[in-house]
Structure 1
Amino acid sequence: MTQDSHRPMPTEPGILAFHARCEAFYPADAVHGSIAQQRGWYDALCAEFDAPPPPGMHKADGLVAGRVPVRYYRPSVVSTQTRLLYIHGGGFVVGSLNSHDSICAEIAHAAKAELVSVDYRLAPEHVWLAAFEDCWAVLLDLLASSRPVVVIGDSAGGNLTAGIVLNARDVGAGPIAGQVLIYPALGGDLVSGSYAEMAQAPGLTTADVSYYRDVVKAPKGDVYAFPLLAKDLAGLPPSYITAAFFDPLRDDARHYATRLGAAGVPVEFREEPQMIHAWLRARHMSEGAREGFSALCAAVSRMAGTRST
């Protein structure tokens, strides 16, 4: 993430302060560090933006299929039978049950729904399809009860969300009530559109995206790894997709939303005009992030069929 005097930057003070705070914990050239260094920096960054859980939130850790760590969240008020599955971001390289803990707790609280977060295997120790297989195992475990599931993921987690939801359609698994993709990485070409325009964007560069793809080693023609390659998107569940304007992944979200709509899938697309990649973590210090998070939680609630109380 090299600094550049011509790099595109937002003007909202809150998100600029967030970015500056991030850079103090996660170096701009973090991808050049060792894997251990990257994870240490990321853990410190996540701890910096941690927040206490909403009152009455119950959390418990467990294993799915005897091998995949998960964390269960049950808010003080549950107003739907639909459950939420959250898949964290981190370029397939960093992230854990702890990295997105407060985000998961706040989404579960806002949607008044039980949520399960998955700690999938990370690259480079575990390349494709390891992360996909872990997330798929947790989805199947949730679907076994015949209760609807809304699948949610940010960044690399958005990639995994789109992939397992595509797979669920292809094998007839369900019921899936919706998918929520938050600044997702969906397999764009790295050379045009936002990949060129936002190549030096704050928080994530196109070179970073290329690095993460190289590390995870997904086959280039695999539609579950690169959902934009899927020829047919018909029959997918209702979708909510949110993008950041200052993000090389922006057009992945735009194009996927457009194609879903053209395939007859109910889709809501929201682009945050002042946001950068990973703005979810800025929800308590940026007005734009706060509004985006509120819209996200409202969409999850609608998909989950949360009853008004």
Structure 2
Amino acid sequence: MSARGVPSRRHQLLARAVPRVRRSRELDTEAAERARLERWHAGLDRSLPTRLVPRFERRFSVVTETLAAGDPVGAGFPAYVLTPRHLEPRRTVVYLHGGGFVAPIDPFHVRYAARLATRLHARVVLPDYPLAPEHSWRDSHEPVVELTARWLTEPEPVVLAGDSAGGGLALAIAEALRDRGGPQPSHLLLHSPWVDLTTSTPETESFSRRDPWLFLGKLRAYAAWWAGTPDDLARFEVSPALGELDGLPPALVFCGTRDTLAPGCRLLASRAEGTSWDLTYVEEPDLIHVYPLLPLVPEAGRAWRQTVAFLG
């Protein structure tokens, strides 16, 4: 665990601006929030949002693969394979996006994926998994496991990565692949991962009071919808911090302390200490959720340098 000094002025500005831009607020009622999300999802454009990546079409090619949904009546969902046009891929990164399991891939995810692809000479696979409340983990977990397993049969190494909800999903996928045996990812990269959807850690409420972005009432509703049933909340596929951690790939986890998810990340790091898992946990005081993805922030630059060094 690492500790740093006072957050930069730019981070402090974004800590105020990002929640306003995202219109972050506590839910009124679960019923109203469900209705709002269902209306939003009905009109969503699920194409890859590339507008924050300059000259995207010239720099990258994109192939779309359709994965069969776990729901037998589902129509499937896309996985976008982003490849630099003028670089030979040396590895594959399977990146699971955040958004509380209720929001799709957004332009900042694509910006970060493009950066990974260019710096690491990598193709980046972005599954656009079905969203809650209409869907639960059962509709995407096995298809994403299968997708990752197919890339693991290629000669290049495979990195599993994700932020927030996607970070938890990436860890759950890694646990499922370990249990299967066979080829495994070379590394795990997790940004502020949501790894305990039970929110059972006693510090969660106090951390939430300092978080300008995530609201505990919403998180509890989203967790219940993603689990599908209360009996599934503590399953490793939903709350991977509560699962078996031995035998996982080397991992790098970033988290800030102005984040409702920090207690879950601490739980993960604490449980890892008694296992064979090689986990590097970087906790930054007073930084907000998924700070490594913030643009032009010194703390994000530091996390990027750590990430590049970790992945080699």
Superposed pair shares fold, TM > 0.5: yes
Q: Is residue 212 from structure 1 mapped to residue 222 from structure 2 by the alignment?
A: yes
TM-score for both structures, normalised by structure 1: 0.81
Whether 1:85 aligns to 2:94 is yes
Say whether 1:277 aligns with 2:277.
Answer: no
Write the distance in 1 (CA, Å) between the matches of 2:51 and 2:283.
Answer: 23
Report percent identity of matched pairs: 22
In the alignment, the residues of structure 1 paired with residue 154 and residue 116 of structure 2 have an alpha-carbon distance, to the nearest angstrom, of 22
Aligned 1:52-71 pairs, distance under 5 A: 52=54, 57-65=59-67, 67-71=76-80
Match for residue 132 of structure 1 among 135, 141, 144: 141
Checking the alignment, whether the CA contact within 8 Å between 1:274 and 1:288 is kept in structure 2 is no
Q: Would you say 1:12 and 2:14 are equivalent positions?
A: no
Structure 2 gaps, min length 5: 1-5, 69-75
Aligned residues: 288
Alpha-carbon displacement from aligned partner over 1:29-61 (angstroms, at most 9, x marks no partner): 264551056669x99xx9899343689631313
Distance 1:97 1:147 in 2: 27
1:166 corresponds in structure 2 to 175
The answer for unaligned runs of 5 or more in structure 1 is 1-9, 303-309
| Contact 1:77/1:112 (8 A) holds in 2 | no
Task: Work out whether residues 227 and 238 of structure 2, in 8 Å CA contact, stay in contact via their aligned partners in 1.
Answer: no
Q: What are the residue-to-residue correspondences of 1:108-123 with 2, within 5 Å?
A: 108-123=117-132
Which one is further off, 261-270 or 288-297? 288-297
The one-character-per-residue Cα deviations of 1:144-198 (angstroms, maximum 9, x if unpaired) are 3353211001111011101110000001142310111111111165354441221
Conserved? CA contact 2:213–2:289, under 8 Å: yes
Partner of 1:291: 302
In the alignment, which residue of structure 2 is the partner of 1:182?
Answer: 191
Distance 1:271-1:77 versus aligned 2 partners, 3 A rule? farther
TM-score relative to the length of structure 2:
0.80
Q: 1:135: how far off?
A: 2.0
CA apart distance, 1:27: 1.7
Residue type of the alignment partner of 2:12 = L
CA RMSD of aligned residues (A): 3.1
Decide whether aligned partners of structure 1 residues 48 and 167 sit closer, same or farther in structure 2, where only a CA change above 3 A counts. Answer: closer
Residue of structure 2 equivalent to 1:305: none
Seen in structure 2, the aligned counterparts of structure 1 residues 77 and 111 have a Cα distance that, compared at 3 Å, is farther
Q: 1:281 to 1:177 in 2, by over 3 A?
A: closer
- Any conservation in 2 of the 1:52–1:102 contact (CA below 8 Å)? no
| In 2, Cα distance between equivalents of 1:63 and 1:49 | 21
Residue 233 of structure 1 aligns to a residue whose secondary structure is: coil
In the alignment, is the contact (CA less than 8 A) between 2:256 and 2:288 conserved in 1? yes
